[in-house]
Structure 1
């Protein structure tokens, strides 16, 4: 064997069937990615969700959404390769899957839904992070001055601080440079979630009086009016949808798996492990939180004054939330940044402002390449998300709106339509009919959630004052 043949053979061993560097992902890594992606800031509103729906409908809704998520995720897993789920060509992104199986205007609609949900999520993360940072100051104020002290804190300065951090981090060139931040963010996610569950359990153990809770949730005529009850149910459904809206990153996770065993089989198992683990975690967090607070459960039980002591632990939990959201904000933003910048480079390849890199020597770092288009547009994007977050600083309503916007198209409609097209399921057959019925039912849920969230945002805007906290 010649030296050239040996080198070529060694190179082939390090490449996958598409000529890219060999993927090394496994069932364990895919499951970890899914759990990390799903368990996020939405977990903080679960006690409030159970309070609106009650002991029966609340957990049932969480289970139902998890079953639907697991099912549609398995459909999407079979569409990573086209036309055959095992031997077909790879699709690297969600839009690539839609392009390979559906084509036409649906590709653009998928992009609008996917990247629009990323933009909405980053606004939601900005809101939550600023609330958490402000909660640290409020917690210390209550600890020093008593629980009845006037400890109002504006979220605006903390929104600005969060935006400044994101402006700096957004200049990291791409998502591949963020692995360290993603690991830290994942640890923070589990930390504040477990702290919240522990504090709620401790509250149940030490309380001296019964809290009001029931199978119906908040009571009409006591806690809310009949109209408010309906709106809150709609909004709670939207919050659950947000909690399970992880489909936009499924294809990207599957693209990290090695090809043997087949990616679709591994991804289906990973989806089941990730979704079932998350569902159990959500039900545990929501039910313990509702048992602790009853019908008075706050929208965010770590920033909504659900706990006062131990103040240092509450401060630590809120710092964990802020750090986690710094990482998740970057994870979603980098995907959006890459799409916009690739689009601009492809359409204006001769524009030096968009394509030219300027090397700068930074002490203790080395050479950093500055692209003026990347610098300007990423900075403008972060500022824009911060401004919207300051206009709409309402945690639960915004979660519901994001969930309503992204849940049906990305988590249900496209997986079902892609699966029907790739599997060539006959029109009006039994399978085609019940899949379409499932899609329509989830569309109704999304519309209901959107209506409830818009009404909640409108109601909050009427009563909102800059220094008022929820």
Structure 2
């Protein structure tokens, strides 16, 4: 819920400073908070599988694929940031969800396709994060800020990998320019499928386009006064800088963690590289890293789940506006905190959602394969296709012009990569399902 500014309020210059151009209370987001949200959303389960991914691809292809995904993610995120406002005079109207952005720029059946891709991916991500949390034995403590936790456990994994290599325990591992060796580590078919799945894991590691619009919606518009006129500067500039900071930060961590993890474990790198230090001292440091993972995933789960919650609750209010169970807010007085609004439908629906995602994660706890499939399925439509198509429509790029052609080539190339990664992940999941017995210890 938000307080909409009245006409009288907006006409009052002094009071107007308390509201944004859409009548909502003044946003307090900044470059720092937007960057923190991006780091929180991006660095999650994906970083844990990168050592394994590079082990499948090798010293040459592994870092190259990471760098390529990094560049594509940043480039398309700038296009998506420019699409935040609807076409119109001056700044245009705000769009609050990814589907709203697609509706305002493309319309038609593409809105439904976007919704299917976005919310399907968000559900998959929350399940993937639940799987990750379940394989890290720790008790979360939500007192700590979320974004530093992702940097903390990445740094711990990085430090332990460096220590393992420097201490000599990593000298007996085998690495190569092309990764796992056919006939020694894997069969020929396993090499191909695992390489495809590794690409999907890397794609998942960069999945944040699904929540970029929601993050940008929190960013404030910088304003400047020219005489007695307030000139707004679009928040897309803030978001582009935040994307650069966020993607650059995560890429540095990804390359360091992936490469040092591969150097430490070689071609036998585990799917979750922190589990490889299970019997490596100091034990307390590994436990602390697992705690950081749990803390971070609590925040990341919320970031990715909020659009799902908002979509279902908004549609339900539209369809059943007279239903008090769905629409009525109850004021509950909580000691110290004060009055807190409680909606019974929101409480029940969100609880059920968390339970269902946890059950699915328990039934199918396949870390690498699940992450790879989610990454492959979401990367092309949400990170590449829609941002490019909306940019073409927004800027009215002439068909068959040089810019139009190379954007289309990028789009089609990413489609092929996504299909290849999805095929590898499906094959990996099929192998896992054949030898797995749900709810039984191995």
| TM-score normalized with structure 2 length | 0.90
Matched, 1:210 2:182: no
- Tell me the CA shift for residue 367 of structure 1: 4.3
Between 348-357 and 289-298, the greater mean CA deviation after superposition: 348-357
Q: How many residues align?
A: 423
1:120 aligned residue? 124
**Aligned residue among 327, 350, 354 for 1:382:** 354
Could you tell me how far apart the structure 2 residues matched to 1:304 and 1:10 are?
Answer: 59
**Contact 1:85–1:264 (Cα < 8 Å) also in 2:** no
Gap change, CA 1:10 and 1:85, over 3 Å in 2: closer
1:27 aligned residue? 31
1:60 aligned residue? 64
Aligned 1:321-340 pairs, distance under 5 A: 321-340=293-312
1:151 aligned residue? none
Could you tell me how far apart the structure 2 residues matched to 1:69 and 1:91 are?
Answer: 21
2:87 aligned residue? 83
Matched, 1:459 2:427: no
1:177 aligned residue? none
Could you tell me how far apart the structure 2 residues matched to 1:265 and 1:436 are?
Answer: 25
**Contact 2:330–2:341 (Cα < 8 Å) also in 1:** yes
**Aligned residue among 293, 296, 308 for 2:265:** 293
Gap change, CA 1:371 and 1:92, over 3 Å in 2: closer
**Contact 2:146–2:299 (Cα < 8 Å) also in 1:** yes
1:226 aligned residue? 188
2:411 aligned residue? 439
Unaligned runs of 5+ in 2: 1-7, 223-232
CA offset digits 1:29-57 (Å, max 9, x no partner)? 32232222212221111111110000000
**Contact 2:10–2:16 (Cα < 8 Å) also in 1:** no
Could you tell me how far apart the structure 1 residues matched to 2:143 and 2:397 are?
Answer: 39
Unaligned runs of 5+ in 1: 137-161, 166-179
- Tell me the CA shift for residue 268 of structure 1: 2.1
**Contact 2:157–2:273 (Cα < 8 Å) also in 1:** yes
Gap change, CA 1:78 and 1:360, over 3 Å in 2: closer
- Tell me the CA shift for residue 415 of structure 1: 0.1
1:95 aligned residue? 99
**Aligned residue among 187, 201, 215 for 1:239:** 201
| TM-score normalized with structure 1 length | 0.84
Gap change, CA 1:368 and 1:253, over 3 Å in 2: closer
- Tell me the CA shift for residue 281 of structure 1: 1.6
CA offset digits 1:360-416 (Å, max 9, x no partner)? 444555444443322322222111111110111011111101101211111000000
Structure with the higher helix share, 1 or 2: 1
Gap change, CA 1:314 and 1:63, over 3 Å in 2: same
RMSD: 2.4
**Aligned residue among 255, 271, 275 for 1:303:** 275
2:148 aligned residue? 187
